[in-house]
Structure 1
Amino acid sequence: MATIDIDPHLIVKANAFTTKTYRDIYPSIDLSHSELSQDGKVVITGASRGLGRLVRIRCFLPRANAAAIVLIGRSAADPVETEKLVKESNSNTKVLSIAVDATNEVGVKTALQEIVARFGVPHVLINNAGTLASLNRIQHSALNSRWQTQVGFSSARY
């Protein structure tokens, strides 16, 4: 039986709007470069599941040199695991987990007020909240699918 070789980057390339596509952190923005650190406050939305959890645990936290890292997700999952990872890499970094759904405008505003009150204005936002339903073109997608995409995309404006 013949096997078909499929490019593992096919979907990323098909949806790309830039000439270069990166599947990992590229060298010029790698957090291990101390000159990129501003000891700032970092907020990661969608941090409790999926890519947000991966970013939080594998990619970002071990190398971050931040004064504070705030994890926002529908559930404040794994705060002990996260705090342990942060403390191992930088014992001076503070961690806050907030449970809020990005579709809840009041909840997002309240979360931002809490972040500002505790740490000051955030410097970095990794906006990962949202859903990935179908991979159809937007004009062929269901209305509900468009709404979910819009909420995930625009939740940062709150």
Structure 2
Amino acid sequence: MESLPPDFWATSRAYTPHIYRDQYPFIDPASSSLSQAGKTIIITGSSAGIGARGIVPAFAKAGPKALVLVARNLAALRTSEAVIMEINPAIEVLLIPTSIADEAAVTNLYATVRTTLGHADVLVNNAGSNADVAMIGESSPAKWWTDFEINVKGTYLMTRGFLQLLGRDQKGTVITMNTELAASVVPSWSAYGVSKIASLRLVEYLAAEYSNVSAVSIQPGVVATDMVGESFKRFAQDTPELVGGMCVWLATDAARFLSGRFVSANWSVDDLQKQKDRILASSDLKVVYAGIFGLDHIKATA
């Protein structure tokens, strides 16, 4: 890690000819093309980090009908609410302190949304855990499993509840925060990496099972938050605004061709749209088990 250049994670995994480390015009959430007018947006992990500094302000600038903020700390949620009111006081804000790994709590969350707002159009699964950075043999089983409780079970429960509220007839969007470590093996990060690849696969299942839902995983780059380990801090040059703008763009119809795929906030959305046909015709940006399989293929290449 020490020998890698500071822009390694942004450049080595580039899929588009252009990459960005900060918000740019195509993902400006105040742009009319990214408008979320009339929509209700649910954002987990909205009291701190990328959620509070990037995703919440971005959706507020996009002018939705309502924002539902979810996290465990009510006082911190009120701080995020104040940010929204400063940007656009016309937005209805619903604060729901919730542990997303608690099934009963998530059920109550969606009951509150249904009673208060009637429906929801977009879910941003931003809450995440990185509880145990350690080699497997030295790891704590309880801490190691915490990442699965939040990153897998919590994401599943929030997504399940959203689908039940949405129904089969209405279009919806589910954006799930992920990480480059879902596609890479970095020693000591097994809990986080393995739980995140499970989350990645969950999004692919969601896209396959629900044609009315655009389901996308997003890698936020490396943003300076409390979850960034010491060894990654020098790579943390991406801004929360970059991630927030990308999430708003992913909630538009222009991004629905990416359903079931894993994208990076660093990639140019203009370039992605130009590569739409290639993406749809391939397994690009999906979990792939590589190799030559099937006896006919093996015999043909022998």
TM-score by length of 1: 0.72
Aligned length: 150
Cα distance between partner residues in 1 of 2:8 and 2:81: 35
Q: Is the 8 A contact 1:130 1:151 kept in 2?
A: no
Contact 1:131–1:152 (Cα < 8 Å) also in 2: no
Higher alpha-carbon deviation: 122-131 or 85-94 = 85-94
Deviation per CA, 1:126-153: give whole Å up to 9, x if none.
11112124679xxxx9662662332244
Q: Which residue of 2 aligns with 1:87?
A: 85
TM-score normalized by the length of structure 2: 0.41
Deviation at 1:84, TM superposition (A): 3.0
**Structure 1 contact 73–98 (Cα < 8 Å) conserved:** yes
Where do residues 50-129 of structure 1 align in structure 2 (5 Å cutoff)?
A: 50-56=49-55, 59-60=57-58, 63-129=61-127
SS at the partner of 1:78? Answer: helix
Specify whether residues 92 and 80 from structure 1 end up closer, same or farther in structure 2 by C-alpha distance, changes over 3 A only.
same
CA spacing shift, 1:53–1:91, aligned 2, 3 Å: closer
Taking only the aligned residue pairs, the percentage that are identical comes to 28
Q: 1:153 to 1:79 in 2, by over 3 A?
A: closer
The one-letter code sitting in structure 2 at the alignment partner of 1:41 is: T
SS in structure 1 of the partner of residue 75 of structure 2: coil
Bigger CA radius of gyration:
2
- Specify whether residues 7 and 112 from structure 1 end up closer, same or farther in structure 2 by C-alpha distance, changes over 3 A only: farther
Q: Shift of residue 111 of structure 1?
A: 0.6
1:48 aligns with 2:47: yes
Aligned to 1:19: 15
CA RMSD of aligned residues (A): 3.4
SS in 2 for 1:19: coil
Deviates more, 1:88-97 or 1:60-69: 60-69
Tell me, which stretches of 5 or more residues in structure 2 are unaligned? 162-302
Partner of residue 150 from structure 1, selected from 149, 152, 155 = 152
Q: Judging changes above 3 Å, is the alpha-carbon distance between structure 1 residues 147 and 83 closer, same or farther for their aligned structure 2 residues? A: closer
C-alpha change, 1:120 and 1:32, in structure 2 (3 Å) is same
2: CA distance, partners of 1:12 / 1:152: 28
Residue 87 of structure 1, CA deviation: 2.4
